[in-house]
Amino acid sequence: MKLVTIIQARMGSTRLPGKVLLDLRGKTVLARVVERVRRSKLAGVVVVATTTEPADDVIVDECRRLCLGVSRGSEHDVLDRYYHAARQFGAEAIIRITSDCPLIEPEIVDKTVQAFLSFRPDYASNTLERTYPRGLDAEIMTWDALARCWREAQAFYQRSHVTPYIYENPDLFDILRVTGDSDQSDLRWTLDTPEDLAFIRAVYARMRNPDMFSWRDVLALLQREHGLVELNQHSLQKALQEG
């Protein structure tokens, strides 16, 4: 089975414009996401899906610098963008990662993918029953599930968020929830606001080796420095319907 990890990225973030190319201890946010995903044993081929907007030419340039395959498609119909990227790279199963997760954990990506490979559902996710910090999100689906979703999903939010049509229709799809051993879902490690950026930069600044630390190292850091959590504790996650 050919696994393709598709990282969605664009410059047009509403709350933190250009966030994917902001500096994170000497590398761009996108580069940090890519290098962490590449450490996953089961990530397969790693590519980026960006938009055809001229503003995202700089993302294509960064992908070339990272020796990374790239596909371009619709800015707002991200489901369509994923569908065509998956076709372009011949995916039989598609791992979805977003570029606002510069603390994404290879171990957790692999756990999600391994569960998918072991039980063979249409779709597996570690977000449906949250136990991991927000920002360690990983989803994987079959090509057939993605294609059916692409054909049938109609609501704007279903297309801008790629997978809601799947997990909102458990009668149509075999769905697998992947959970951790303990509940860390109260922690926010995603990048969507200036406060999130301050938190993530503080984490990277404290890591002895910014290229190799794990999510367990971050948990240990937060145990030592409780105040770091307060940097972005008031950042609110956008509602699904906000796009």
pLDDT at 243: 47
DSSP state of 226: G
Q: Are 112 and 140 in contact (CB under 8 A)?
A: yes
Residues 6+ apart with CB under 8 A from 57: none
- Cα–Cα dist 189/118, whole Å: 28
> Model confidence over 9-18: pLDDT tens digits?
999 988 899 9
Calculate what percentage of the chain has a pLDDT beyond 70. Answer: 97
> Model confidence over 143-197: pLDDT tens digits?
999 999 999 999 999 999 999 999 999 999 999 999 999 999 999 999 999 999 9
What's the whole-model pTM score?
0.95
> Can you list the positions of beta strands (E) in the chain?
3-8, 23-24, 27-28, 45-51, 69-73, 93-98, 123-125, 139-142, 175-177
- Cα–Cα dist 18/66, whole Å: 18
Extract the tokens encoding 133.
């910090």
pLDDT at 210: 97
Query: Residue 137, exposed/middle/buried by CB under 10 A (0-12, 13-18, 19+)?
Result: buried
Q: Are 168 and 241 in contact (CB under 8 A)?
A: no
Residue boundaries of the structural domains of the chain: 3-242
Average pLDDT on 73-84 reads 98
Neighbours of 131 (CB within 10 A): 16
What phi, psi does 156 have (nearest 5°)? -55, -45
> Model confidence over 90-139: pLDDT tens digits?
999 999 999 999 999 999 999 999 999 999 999 999 999 999 999 999 99
CATH 3.40.50.300 for domain 3-242 = no
Which single residue is written with the structure tokens 């992908």? 63
